Amino acid sequence: MATVTIRDLNKNYENGFHAVKDVNLEIRDKEFMVLVGPSGCGKTTTLRMVAGLEEITSGEILIGARVINDLPPMDRDIAMVFQNYALYPHKSVYQNMAFGLQMRKYPKHEIEKRVRDAAEILGIEPLLERKPRQLSGGQRQRVAVGRAIVRHPQVFLFDEPLSNLDAMLRVQMRVELKRLHERLETTAIYVTHDQVEAMTLGDRVVVMKDGWVQQVGEPLELYGKPANRFVAGFIGSPAMNFVSVTISESGGDLWADAEGLRLKLPPRLVDRMRAHAGKRTTLGVRPEALHPASGADPADCCFDTTVDVVEPLGNEILVNFRIGGAPMVARVDPAVRVKAHQGIRVALDPERIHFFDEKSEAAL
């Protein structure tokens, strides 16, 4: 039962690198919070400060009501799963899992019971006597998780735990981690650079870049209402399409113009965008909001272009083309027949477009 509160957290390294900048987060009890961002965005540093492995330059971290800034890692009541698993190579699986309990002087029968329980949950009972080098990647991963859960800590910390696994195993372990979290109901902080992992695992997701928190929210909120261009481009695969447009007003309507594109803004955006008339802004549209135009689509949200590359994925087709010099991708139904270099008329769902300020990149 624990919340984790991070207040005005900063990390400056001795070489002057400012890795984490004014991070404020409130992680609720039993919540699965995912920190996601490109490498060097400060997510791992933030996690390591929570773990006590990295000194805090300024700010405060609280677990529950207790400030833990100056507590050594062992007194923080946390457990961490590392990217390279960090299993003790000279100890058996059982000893690896028991080590944390032995250090805390638990009675032998209690250790035995907890290790067996955790091994059962994770399906690693037959491996208990093996050494880490005799295990496959997925098994090591399970042992690393097992070592964390035997301690019944207040908070789990995960540092990119799935990135050393192959793609299929990663999907499988992702589901297992989610199931495990539902079963254990322990607060968890999970760091990853993979936005799919972040979206599928997180109750809420924190997107970071260059040490700053960009946005905190539930996965679908991040996807549907990105706070800025970075979040919009980072969350979702393929990424959101961006094209630079000029907003103009004619006949009471607002229009977004780019080379080869003239789009009428829907009424919900008119009031908000009127202030930007005559200015350049960035139009963002997700691949699934684009589709080959049919007669039902109004003419003022369609445009003509030439297909560049077609990527058939089976359940969908990705159609690449260019508008106003910007590359764009549309995610279309596999029944649609398109070929490379063929002319195509594309319709855009005006209810699902986003605008971003050209300079600040904030959502408008």
Partner 1 sequence: MLIERKWKKWIYFYLPIAVFILFTLFPFYWMAVTALRPDHVLYRTWRQASATPFWTLEPTLEHFRGLLQTTSFPKWLWNTMLIAIVSTLISLVCGMFAGYALARLKFRGSEFLGTAIFITYLVPQTLLFIPLADIIRDLHLGNTPWALMLTYPTFLIPFCTWLLMGYFKTIPKELEECARIDGATRFGAMVRIIFPVAIPGILSAGIFAVTLSWNEFIYALIFMSSAELKTVPVGVVSELIRGDIFFWGQLMAGALLGSIPVALVYSFFVEYYVTGLTGSVKG
Residues in contact with partner 1, counted by CB under 8 A, come to a total of 27
Q: Which of residues 45-104 bind partner 1 (CB under 8 A)?
A: 51-53, 72-74, 76, 78-80, 82-90, 99-100, 103-104
**Is the separation of the CB atoms in 97 and 142 below 8 Å?**
no
Minimum distance, C-beta of residue 291 to partner 1, in the bound complex (Å): 47
- The answer to whether 212 contacts partner 1 (rule: CB under 8 A) is no
- Residue whose CB is less far from partner 1, 133 or 339: 133
Alpha-carbon distance of 30 to 25, in angstroms, equals 15
Work out whether strand 155-159 and strand 4-12 pair parallel, antiparallel, or are unpaired. Answer: unpaired
- Residue whose CB is less far from partner 1, 151 or 229: 151
Residue 129: how many other CB atoms lie within 10 Å: 10
Q: Which of residues 133-192 bind partner 1 (CB under 8 A)?
A: 133, 147, 151
Alpha-carbon distance of 228 to 213, in angstroms, equals 11
Residues 180-212: b if buried by 16+ CB within 10 A, e if exposed: bbeeeebbbbbbbbbbebbbebbebbbbbbebe
Minimum distance, C-beta of residue 114 to partner 1, in the bound complex (Å): 13
- Residue whose CB is less far from partner 1, 83 or 320: 83
Alpha-carbon distance of 246 to 155, in angstroms, equals 49
Minimum distance, C-beta of residue 89 to partner 1, in the bound complex (Å): 6
- Residue whose CB is less far from partner 1, 53 or 169: 53
Minimum distance, C-beta of residue 112 to partner 1, in the bound complex (Å): 17
Residues 67-87: b if buried by 16+ CB within 10 A, e if exposed: ebeeeeeeebbbbbbebebeb
**Is the separation of the CB atoms in 206 and 213 below 8 Å?**
yes
- Residue whose CB is less far from partner 1, 124 or 148: 148
Q: Which of residues 232-261 bind partner 1 (CB under 8 A)?
A: none
Q: State the residues that interact with partner 1 by CB under 8 A.
A: 51-53, 72-74, 76, 78-80, 82-90, 99-100, 103-104, 132-133, 147, 151
